[in-house]
Amino acid sequence: MKKYLIVGLGNPGEEYSQTRHNIGFSILDSWAHDVEKIFSSSRYGEIVKFKIKGKIVILLKPNTFMNLSGKSIRYWVQEEKIPFENLVVVLDDLALPEGEIRLKLKGSDGGHNGLKSVQEIFGRNDYARLRFGIGNNYSKGKQVDFVLGKWEKESLERVNHGITNSKKLLETFVLSGAASAMNKYNQ
């Protein structure tokens, strides 16, 4: 039976909940809710497992903080024997407009500390990543405050639409493959 590991990047702790930087956690929380599953604490993160049409999906929210995400991902890739092509990392992206999503199958870390950690641990960059646009509406020197800030009310409709599309893209990735997911949902 094929297994997929979908990792939402974020930081553990209530103070980071619902921040732009934790959009990976938010997307996985929403998907777990849709399939009526609850995350349980496990080694290096919180986990949910479920099946879609005979395929096992494992959702992971690392508890190692963003900068050490690779450690958690490596553990679960090895523990569950996940083929590298069945790994998807979900993260925030300053370069995309708010709520837009884009699946890429390789690339640089783009300055994202979570991806930096993954690439340092695995020594490669050829894994799927779902980038979720958070925009870049911040003043010079205020990037950290912006990324760790909560969504504005006027953004929520775009963000919720992006979360819905992200879940559809991820399900398509599992059921039909990366090419199909990219053709259908990359904006």
Helix extents (H) in 124-155: 143-147
Q: pLDDT digits over 87-140, tens only? A: 999 999 999 999 999 999 998 888 898 999 999 999 999 999 999 999 888 878
- Residue 21 is a catalytic residue: yes
Q: Is the pTM of this model over 0.75?
A: yes
**Structural domain count of the chain:** 1
Backbone angles phi, psi at 173, to 5 degrees: -55, -45
Q: Give 135 or 36, the one with higher predicted confidence.
A: 36
- Identified catalytic residue from 21, 33, 112, 161: 21
Position 63 scores a pLDDT of 95
Residue 187 has pLDDT above 80, yes or no: no
CATH number at 180 reads 3.40.50.1470
pLDDT, average across residues 46-66: 96
Task: Give the structural domain span for 167.
Answer: 3-185
> Predicted confidence band at 33 (pLDDT cuts at 50, 70, 90)?
very high
Position 137 scores a pLDDT of 80
Within 8 A by CB and 6+ apart from 54, the residues are 1, 2
Q: Which residues of 9-34 are buried (b: 16+ CB within 10 A; e: fewer)?
A: bbbbeeebeebbbbbbbbbbbebbee
Q: pLDDT digits over 6-18, tens only? A: 999 999 999 999 9
Residue 186 has pLDDT above 80, yes or no: yes
Q: pLDDT digits over 136-169, tens only? A: 888 788 888 888 888 889 889 999 999 999 999 9
